[in-house]
Amino acid sequence: MDEKEMLSAGWRSPSNIALIKYWGKREGQIPANPSLSMTLSQAFTETRIMVSRTPEMSGIMSINGVKAHPFLLKLNLFYQWFLKEVPVFNGLTLQIQTRNSFPHSTGIASSASGFSAFTLCLLDLASKLTQVHLPEEHFFQLASYTSRMGSGSACRSLYSGYTVWGRTTLIDGSSDVFSVDINDRVNRTMEKLQDAILVVSSKPKSVASSLGHSRMNQHPFSGARVDQAHSHLAEALTALKQGDFEHLGSIAENEALTLHALIMTSRGGDILLDPKSLLLMQRIKQARAGGLPVFYTLDAGPNVHLMYPQSASASVRDFIQKELIPCCENNLVIYDHLGMGPQTLKN
Ligand code: PMV
């Protein structure tokens, strides 16, 4: 590429929510256990990278025009790793434009959508720079492999619907270094799963997930946790195949409670739940006992994801408005659902 040229690539990539949680990892971003997630639709990141050659400069110059952007440090760490894998970017400068569809810092796994969108732009640019165009399946697998180095959960955002990351004997072709699409094993009734994200707090996470993962190395329950994740995965796969919403829900809730229990019982333990998260979890359980088809899950933060089938949308929205909204910060609920995966952006 010469000095007057500029190339650009833009991608929209969704966030995802784990039903079986990834918590704990080994060197090289190898997950301690397999995880299962659903790709979202309305919670996404859109990123565009402009690449050019500027004399005596190289690397990431700015994010949204800001040279000292708070994400630059994390992004640069990942980019330094990427440069060794894809050296064609050596000596080039990058300007990044990015935005999230969801309010900043609502803890809605912005690292998953952010790193997957960033990786897709980089690999798209790499194919423009080298004129090597991978078949679509390989391109997305490489994007999954690569984005995992920025944020583990990002590698699950590359596919639509349901995705598994981590080696398991239950799925041929599953891997610790990229995720796989498992939609051909899912009952059609599970294709319209809804997720209302109840935003309890939009404050940034008090504990970085990298610290949380590392605390699992010394955790007294780590062995039992890995065994549990494998058996939960087997149950969740059966529930997805049979269209058994109730069974999937009971596993997902147990996973959320396990995640927070592991966080609390780690050395230097933390409580990431808010009193309002607990209230929401109790109300959801009571509503289920009253016949409403709902379950919850949470990431490593206080916000609650309320899951339900599309057929129950009207009654669940009514329940949210009447009983759950008072626990949400500024009445914020993001209505989301199972999504289609990443999309390229037009120029
Ligand atoms: O991708 P990371 O390193 O931010 O870790 C994500 C961990 C959880 O969100 C708590 C669980 C998961 O599987 O997404």
Dump pLDDT digits (tens) for 274-325: 999 999 999 999 999 999 999 999 999 999 999 999 999 999 999 999 999 9
Instruction: Decide whether any atom of ligand 1 lies within 6 Å of the 297 Cβ.
Output: no
Q: Report the Cα–Cα distance between both ends of the chain, in Å, rounded.
A: 19
Dump pLDDT digits (tens) for 77-113: 999 999 999 999 999 999 999 999 987 655 565 799 9
Cα distances from 1 to residues 47, 109, 122, 155, in angstroms, run: 22, 35, 15, 30
Instruction: Decide whether any atom of ligand 1 lies within 6 Å of the 22 Cβ.
Output: yes
Q: Ligand 1 test: best mutation among 15, 16, 19, 23, most atoms within 8 Å of CB?
A: 23
Dump pLDDT digits (tens) for 183-225: 999 999 999 999 999 999 988 777 788 999 999 999 999 999 9
Q: Specify the pLDDT at position 104.
A: 62
Q: For residue 69, what pLDDT band results from cuts at 50, 70 and 90?
A: confident
| Atom nearest to 259 CA in ligand 1 | 10
Instruction: Confirm if 11 and 121 have CB atoms less than 8 A apart.
Output: yes
Instruction: Decide whether any atom of ligand 1 lies within 6 Å of the 303 Cβ.
Output: no
| Atom nearest to 21 CA in ligand 1 | 13
More confidently predicted of 83 and 68: 83
**Mean pLDDT score, 36-41:** 98
**Mean pLDDT score, 109-136:** 95
Instruction: Say how many Å lie between the CA of residue 22 and the centre of ligand 1.
Output: 6
Instruction: Decide whether any atom of ligand 1 lies within 6 Å of the 300 Cβ.
Output: yes
Q: For the chain, give percent helix, strand, coil, nearest 5.
A: 45, 25, 35
Mean pLDDT of the chain: 95
Quick check: helix, strand or coil at residue 30?
A: strand
How many whole angstroms separate alpha carbon 274 and alpha carbon 36?
25
Give Cβ neighbours of residue 326 (< 8 Å, ≥ 6 apart). none
| Residue of 237, 282, 239, 240 whose CA lies nearest to 257 | 282
Q: Is the pLDDT of residue 250 over 80?
A: yes
Q: Specify the pLDDT at position 221.
A: 98
Q: For residue 260, what pLDDT band results from cuts at 50, 70 and 90?
A: very high
Give Cβ neighbours of residue 301 (< 8 Å, ≥ 6 apart). 107, 201, 205, 272
Burial of residue 292 (CB within 10 Å: 0-12, 13-18, 19+) is: middle
Q: Is the pLDDT of residue 254 over 70?
A: yes
Instruction: Decide whether any atom of ligand 1 lies within 6 Å of the 18 Cβ.
Output: yes
Cα distances from 318 to residues 42, 286, 308, 321, in angstroms, run: 20, 15, 13, 5
Q: Specify the pLDDT at position 107.
A: 58
Q: Specify the pLDDT at position 108.
A: 63
Task: Name the token pair of 256.
Answer: 């959320």
Q: Specify the pLDDT at position 189.
A: 96
Question: Amino acid letter at 52?
Answer: S
Instruction: Confirm if 200 and 329 have CB atoms less than 8 A apart.
Output: yes
Q: Is the pLDDT of residue 7 over 70?
A: yes
DSSP character for 322? Answer: I
What is the C-alpha radius of gyration for the chain, rounded to an integer number of angstroms? 20
Instruction: Confirm if 130 and 88 have CB atoms less than 8 A apart.
Output: yes
Q: Specify the pLDDT at position 306.
A: 98
Instruction: Say how many Å lie between the CA of residue 152 and the centre of ligand 1.
Output: 7
Q: Specify the pLDDT at position 117.
A: 98
The helix (run of H) or strand (run of E) holding residue 313 is helix 313-319
Quick check: helix, strand or coil at residue 80?
A: helix
**Mean pLDDT score, 154-168:** 98
Q: Ligand 1 test: best mutation among 297, 299, 303, 304, most atoms within 8 Å of CB?
A: 299
Instruction: Say how many Å lie between the CA of residue 59 and the centre of ligand 1.
Output: 27
DSSP output for 33-51: S-EEEEEEEEEEEEEEEEE
Q: Is the pLDDT of residue 1 over 90?
A: no
Instruction: Say how many Å lie between the CA of residue 215 and the centre of ligand 1.
Output: 14
